[in-house]
Amino acid sequence: MPSHDTLLDKYAELIIRSGLNLRQGQQLLMTAPLEAVDLVRRVTHHAYKAGASLVTALYSDEKTTLMRFEQGHEAAFDAAPAWLFGGMAEAFRDGSTARLAIIGEDPALLAKQNPDHVARANRSRSKAYKPVIEQITGFATNWCVVSAATPSHARSVFPDLSPDKALAALWSAIFKCTRADQPDPVAAWAVHNKALHTRVKLLNAKRYRALKYKGPGTDLVIGLVHDHVWAGGASEARNGIICNPNIPSEEVFTMPHRERVDGTVCSTKPLSYQGSFIDGISVRFEKGRIVDGTATKGGDVFRKMIETDDGAARLGEVALVPHSSPISASGIVFNETLYDENAASHIAVGQAYSQNMKDAGTMTPEQRLAAGMNTSLIHVDWMIGSGALDVDGITADGKAEPLMRKGEWVE
Amino acid sequence: MPSHDTLLDKYAELIIRSGLNLRQGQQLLMTAPLEAVDLVRRVTHHAYKAGASLVTALYSDEKTTLMRFEQGHEAAFDAAPAWLFGGMAEAFRDGSTARLAIIGEDPALLAKQNPDHVARANRSRSKAYKPVIEQITGFATNWCVVSAATPSHARSVFPDLSPDKALAALWSAIFKCTRADQPDPVAAWAVHNKALHTRVKLLNAKRYRALKYKGPGTDLVIGLVHDHVWAGGASEARNGIICNPNIPSEEVFTMPHRERVDGTVCSTKPLSYQGSFIDGISVRFEKGRIVDGTATKGGDVFRKMIETDDGAARLGEVALVPHSSPISASGIVFNETLYDENAASHIAVGQAYSQNMKDAGTMTPEQRLAAGMNTSLIHVDWMIGSGALDVDGITADGKAEPLMRKGEWVE
């Protein structure tokens, strides 16, 4: 078996080549937890090798994040680094700077803090971050989200292992799920992208009006916007660069209609939202809006989340993932959306991606809204798939075609 | 003797209280080397205790800085993070965000790199950084520069000690020179500021037309701008907050006239400029401009430095420091301007501080230039003091009054 350093280097190269497809002369702006410094350095190495003009890493630190909630004065929770986010949006706008997010925070970091303080801080942050999210969801530049194993995250995934073994186990799972452990990870991603693109083409040809979900606690119809576009795997950003925005990624996804979602749905995996766990969600939609909802864990956080703004209680994304995906097959619950969303079909409340509707990039905000595209400060994925889920595609004339049975593609 | 952790905590508290005088509701923006993370965390702790609304730390990493020069493509050296510096300038402009720079980089980090690449990268960076420097030199907000001991910097100061001992020796010197090792460092700085302010008051009352320097290799007259203001120690920023911009600080300083400097001067300590050492500088000024100059070490870097722009070969600051200052008394050459400049009288080429001329803050750029205020992308301090330096003040009617003899204040 290759050494950890060899695998880390292959992973970093995969991120630069397949994830970002970084071009000569581009700047790279990375965010990462301090504990991911080794990966940041390998990524930086491959970025300069690929011709990056400048690599900037912005680090987050769980210890200081926690200090704010533990020691901050009451008035301290409505501030956000708008100055920094304004600068980041500026960097992405013309596509000259690529964006890499390395995630790996403790999913329960803020679980013991005052939920009102956490909600206020998150709301301020989301609001200030909006200029950045608009550039990313609008695909102004090539971007990619990946994960690094960190001690606190590894502990949450493998609570019964020693710290060293937990960290090693999480890295091993990351290398496997991202195909970084394969002899030629870049070639493996080319094959994988081809399979996703075939599925996307099939679905786009169908022009379904809606998707119908049936499963334990789930009986849901999700209308799709008229000019919806299914996407998955590598996508072309507005700067002309084809990138893989998520590594790993097993999903195909499109745009729900913000006013045409009806029925009940249950979550099938826990969800970590800005430092707290939410589990056992059960909600009812009426005309696109969550009108009734509970969660067996983190109910307060869930309620505050969908109250962020009007669009936070409506859908912005619907994604299909076979139950047999490699991430699901690993049997690991990663407590991290990037991985868990690729283990199961999911929906997301909040902001929609303009790539999922034809011409959304050139529409006015009013036109987008009229077409059914959702908008919000947040975008939170939420797993509803399992080995017991059936999904039908509803055609323009109302006929139901089986898409998934017991969580697997029918064809 | 108190433990390292106790001293580090006292140092952090001194930085927040005396250095920045951070106010409730302010944000704090910190830059620091990765190796200074322990100090960053203690500073963050005291910032939130003081009521900071948000603390953001931007880390630099010697390893990735070096990768750029070792692996970057030829075209890679003209880029700078203008998006980030634009955001920083925005944060400081209204005085709502305080600025802390924690320094501690290897002073010779880039010494072996292609000097043309280094000069190009520094020039691009300085140019992009100008909006920030303008806010800082214009005192838009409370700011402070301090040092942290890092392994690479400690090695350069104590090359004969083991890594652990070198690091401990540098921390010990830092705690001593900053008065963090005194029982009440904040009170000690109040006393120290009082002494500096008394000296400033004396010098401001004199209204000297020029300063005259005599020493080995030095025979120099530095004209002062007509409405010059001597400053030193704590100063009031435009947001009304009194801060200590440098910890340590032993200097009193004012504004030279950009066209009235004549004669020769020799440097008395090595100078680290953006990753390279410069030593044994000897230059001749004519009408304010360096017309002839050599350095026994780093001559290329020195030449490129003063060729950055027109103002880079003219003076922006003149500072007097007694030879018996605690930093000089330590006998340590710190290879870091923040410390070494406080061990000796010095001059700086490049940008002048507007606090050093009456009403400079409200003048147009043309009016400032006409009054003799220098402007440049750079500001580089440069030590010329020693136990052999004599300094006279030249009064309006041309009389010479002894200010310093053998490096010490006459009164």
Residue carrying the six token digits 């009304």: B240
B277 touching A (Cβ < 8 Å): no
Looking at residue A276, its pLDDT comes to: 83
A81 touching B (Cβ < 8 Å): yes
Q: Indicate if the pLDDT at residue A275 is higher than 80.
A: no
Looking at residue B361, its pLDDT comes to: 83
B49 CB neighbours in chain A (<8 A) are 71
From the CB of residue B187, how many other CB atoms can be counted at a distance below 10 Å? 12
Share the mean pLDDT of chain A. Answer: 95
B45 touching A (Cβ < 8 Å): yes
Q: What is the DSSP string of B141-197?
A: S-EEEEE---HHHHHHH-TTS-HHHHHHHHHHHHHHHTTTTSSSHHHHHHHHHHHHH
Instruction: Please report which helix (H) or strand (E) contains residue B130, including its range.
Output: helix B115-137
Strand-pair category, A218-224 with A210-215: antiparallel
pLDDT digits (tens, 9 = 90+) for A122-143: 989 999 999 999 899 889 999 9
Q: What is the DSSP string of A270-289?
A: -EEETTEEEBS-EEEEETTE
Looking at residue A256, its pLDDT comes to: 98
Domain ranges of chain A: 4-177, 207-229+250-409
What one-character DSSP code corresponds to residue B53? S
Residue carrying the six token digits 């729900």: A256
CA distance A111 to chain B (A): 20
pLDDT digits (tens, 9 = 90+) for A47-95: 999 999 999 999 999 999 999 999 999 888 999 999 999 999 999 999 9
Give percent of chain A with pLDDT exceeding 70.
100
Between CA B48 and CA B26 the distance in angstroms is: 10
CA distance A7 to chain B (A): 20
Which residues, including other chains, have CB under 8 Å from residue A407's CB and lie 6 or more apart?
Answer: A322, A323, A324, A344, A345, A385, A386, A387, A388, A389
CA distance B125 to chain A (A): 11
Looking at residue A381, its pLDDT comes to: 93
Between CA B328 and CA B318 the distance in angstroms is: 18
Q: Indicate if the pLDDT at residue A290 is higher than 90.
A: yes
Between CA B2 and CA B245 the distance in angstroms is: 27
Asked if A81's CB is within 8 angstroms of B83's CB, the reply is no
Q: Span A3-29, mean pLDDT?
A: 98
Looking at residue B115, its pLDDT comes to: 86
pLDDT band at A32 (very low <50, low <70, confident <90, very high): very high
Structure tokens, B224: 């002062």
Judged by average pLDDT, the poorest of A158-162, A273-277, B321-325 is A273-277
Interface test with B, best of A71, A125, A129 (most B CBs within 10 A): A71
Q: Which fold has domain B4-177?
A: Thermophilic metalloprotease-like (3.40.1830)
Does residue A298 come out as left (phi exceeding 0), alpha (psi in the -120 to 50 range) or beta? left
Averages of pLDDT over runs of 10 residues in chain B (411 residues) are 95 98 97 98 98 97 96 91 96 97 92 90 93 91 98 96 97 96 97 96 97 96 97 95 96 98 95 86 97 93 92 97 91 89 94 92 94 94 94 97 96 80
Identity at A184, one-letter amino acid code? D
Identity at A292, one-letter amino acid code? D
B63 CB neighbours in chain A (<8 A) are 41
Which residue from B218, B206, B159, B225 is spatially nearest to B382, judged by alpha carbons? Answer: B218
A114 touching B (Cβ < 8 Å): no
ipTM above 0.90, yes or no: no
* Contacting A residues, span 14-33, partner chain B, CB-CB under 8 Å: 24-25, 27, 29
Looking at residue B326, its pLDDT comes to: 87
A1 touching B (Cβ < 8 Å): no
Q: Nearest Cβ partner of A48 from B40, B45, B68?
A: B68
Long-range Cβ contacts of B191-197 (<8 Å, 24+ apart): B192/B233, B193/B233, B193/B234, B193/B244, B196/B232, B196/B233, B196/B249, B196/B250, B196/B252, B197/B232, B197/B233, B197/B234
Looking at residue A9, its pLDDT comes to: 98
Q: Span A336-340, mean pLDDT?
A: 90
Q: What is the DSSP string of A207-218?
A: --SEEEEEETTE
pLDDT digits (tens, 9 = 90+) for A237-258: 999 999 999 999 999 999 999 9
CA distance A64 to chain B (A): 6
Q: Indicate if the pLDDT at residue A121 is higher than 80.
A: yes
Q: Are B281 and B53 in contact (CB under 8 A)?
A: no
* Contacting A residues, span 196-255, partner chain B, CB-CB under 8 Å: none
Which residues, including other chains, have CB under 8 Å from residue B298's CB and lie 6 or more apart?
Answer: B273, B276, B277, B278, B279
Looking at residue B274, its pLDDT comes to: 78
Strand-pair category, B97-103 with B143-147: parallel
- State the virtual CA torsion across B79, B82, B83, B87 in degrees, nearest 10: 150
Looking at residue A262, its pLDDT comes to: 98
Answer with the residue of higher pLDDT: B137 or A155: A155
* Contacting A residues, span 51-70, partner chain B, CB-CB under 8 Å: 51-59, 61, 63-64, 67-68, 70
Asked if B64's CB is within 8 angstroms of A72's CB, the reply is no
Interface test with A, best of B26, B30, B83, B85 (most A CBs within 10 A): B83
Q: Span A271-296, mean pLDDT?
A: 92
Q: Are B106 and B166 in contact (CB under 8 A)?
A: no
Asked if B83's CB is within 8 angstroms of A90's CB, the reply is yes
pTM flag (> 0.95): no
